[in-house]
DNA sequence: ACCTATTTTTAGACTTATCTAAATTTATTT
DNA sequence: AAATAAATTTAGATAAGTCTAAAAATAGGT
């Protein structure tokens, strides 16, 4: 159907559209894909011919309905495989991304469906991101960043914005994981750091940390 | 490490070396890979530069130690994934080949090991072929073709030579599966067909069938 | 509205894996 | 041993995806 490279572009466009709530510029896409703008232009033309994106010269791209659907299916596979790796094969949540980047391109509708069933139709991947169902629907939870919480407010940790190994290992080291309740005890206006209560422990975290943790409030 | 295409060539050379107990000719490889002899020559040169094969112009190829090891690792992954698809995801044994052809190229040592562990270190794939262990060792069972059995002899069905969907579905339809005992009741010299006894049922099968079923005798 | 800076596109080149057609080497037959 | 057939390799071309460098279009500042 589509090549690995095409699927990766679609995925990148999908994420950038969400992030900026707008069409995606050639340069932004080049940065996301870690490639050059000229390569992006070439690929965009190809995707446009295949009607996966809507493209007008110098005006950036956005996904067509087909492109959107395709991107979501790739993301669905990525997140299902991540869940599989963590839940069934004993991987840590910071080790799964690169392998899922490969597995997401395996072509078999039946494989995806059966894997989903085998895993019990999970709703979220190990990083708290929603897993689209077979029809491409997924919940956009009413989550917010921990840094947005005020003093004495609390919520449940439901996801990470940055899912780099470094950040995830930091969380592991400090025993912060999805599902745990976090309460803000103090907030330092000067540097944005905060003192939080998690599992009876008090912990001081920098703004960089609270800016990358998603919280759901009751 | 190596490209999909390189890995597929190594696998093909591996199988042809086994099949003919000899070095592999360019044409034989072209047929196996469903490509042209000139393409094979090009690829062989590349594999030779990478020291995966031993090649002298006009003399065919054979795998180097590294090539052999690499081919076995690809085959290990292929067969582990086939086992996974059948045992965990409810695939039928005739549906797994094409998906395993994709999955066998996923690069992650840890993934392979954990998958192997998760599956309980299976020794054989759904078609009865041995699964190499992490060190690349696998048993070469003392199996023979059903067609080699004489009248009144019997054995356990342990594998298939042809693993095409058509053949496997034929076996399913006739309730022939691995592990079952088969006894030769009659053998027709004229066309090589035989009457067999399997699970109290009598069944007449052509030589094409008995030539593609592996049997282990006690 | 013009000039400059930035962004985007085009043009031409490279790599991988493939192809066709022609040339060369090896094998076979008489 | 020469002639022919078969197998193999070479040469040149193509497509996908990338690159660099140059050209073109858009956006911003005064």
Domains and CATH numbers, chain B: 4-63 (1.10.10.10), 144-217 (2.30.30.90)
pLDDT beyond 80 at A89: yes
pLDDT of residue A139: 83
pLDDT beyond 90 at A141: no
| Confidence grade of residue B140 (pLDDT, cut at 50, 70, 90) | confident
Contact B118 A89 (CB under 8 A): yes
3-state secondary structure of B167: helix
pLDDT beyond 90 at B142: no
Predicted structure pTM score: 0.88
Segment A114-118 mean pLDDT: 98
Protein CA at B92 to nucleotide C1' at C6, angstroms: 57
pLDDT of residue A215: 94
Residue recorded with tokens 């034989």: B28
Nucleotides on chain D that have an atom closer than 7 A to a protein CB are 7-12, 16-22, 25-26
pLDDT of residue B138: 92
Q: What is the DSSP letter of A190?
A: T
Segment A35-43 mean pLDDT: 95
Residues of A with CB under 8 A from a CB of B: 85, 88-91, 95, 98-99, 102-103, 106-108, 110-111, 114-115, 118
* Average pLDDT for chain B: 95
Between A179 and B82, name the one with better pLDDT. B82
| Confidence grade of residue A131 (pLDDT, cut at 50, 70, 90) | very high
Segment B90-98 mean pLDDT: 97
Segment B73-82 mean pLDDT: 98
**pLDDT single digits (tens) B25-71:** 999 999 999 999 999 999 999 999 999 999 999 999 999 999 999 99
pLDDT beyond 90 at B154: yes
pLDDT beyond 80 at A180: yes
Protein CA at A15 to nucleotide C1' at C17, angstroms: 32
Segment B108-116 mean pLDDT: 98
- DSSP one-letter string for B119-150: TT--SB-TTSPBPP-TTS------EEEGGG--
Contact B115 A85 (CB under 8 A): no
Q: Are A91 and B114 in contact (CB under 8 A)?
A: yes
Q: What is the DSSP letter of A213?
A: E
* Average pLDDT for chain A: 95
pLDDT of residue B1: 86
Segment A209-217 mean pLDDT: 94
Question: How distant, in Å, are the alpha carbons of A44, B131, B217 from that of B97?
Answer: 34, 15, 28
B44 touches strand D (CB under 7 A): yes
Angle between helices A4-20 and A26-33 (to 10 degrees): 120
Q: Which residues contact B144 (CB under 8 A, 6 or more apart)?
A: B155, B214, B215, B216, B217
pLDDT of residue A147: 93
pLDDT of residue B39: 96
Q: Show the tokens assigned to B51.
A: 């020291």
Euclidean distance between the first and the last CA atom of chain A, given in angstroms as a whole number: 43
Q: Show the tokens assigned to B186.
A: 């009659």
Predicted complex: ipTM over 0.90:
no
């Amino acid at each position: 159907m589509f090549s690995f490279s095409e699927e990766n572009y679609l995925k990148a466009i999908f994420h950038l559209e969400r992030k900026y709530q707008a069409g995606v510029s050639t340069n932004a896409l080049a940065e996301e894909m870690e490639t050059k703008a000229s390569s992006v232009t070439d690929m965009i033309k190809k995707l446009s011919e295949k009607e996966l994106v809507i493209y007008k010269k110098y005006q950036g791209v956005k996904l067509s309905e087909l492109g959107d659907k395709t991107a979501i299916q790739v993301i669905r596979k990525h997140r299902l495989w991540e869940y599989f790796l963590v839940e069934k094969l004993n991987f840590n949540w910071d080790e799964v991304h690169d392998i899922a980047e490969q597995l997401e391109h395996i072509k078999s509708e039946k494989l995806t469906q059966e894997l989903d069933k085998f895993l019990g139709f999970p709703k979220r991947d190990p990083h708290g991101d929603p897993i689209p169902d077979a029809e491409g629907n997924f919940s956009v939870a009413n989550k917010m960043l921990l840094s947005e919480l005020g003093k004495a407010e609390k919520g449940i940790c439901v996801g990470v914005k940055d899912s780099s190994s470094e950040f995830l290992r930091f969380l592991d080291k400090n025993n912060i994981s999805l599902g745990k309740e976090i309460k803000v005890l103090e907030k330092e206006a000067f540097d944005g750091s905060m003192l939080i209560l998690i599992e009876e422990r008090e912990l001081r975290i920098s703004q960089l940390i609270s800016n990358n943790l998603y919280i759901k409030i009751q």
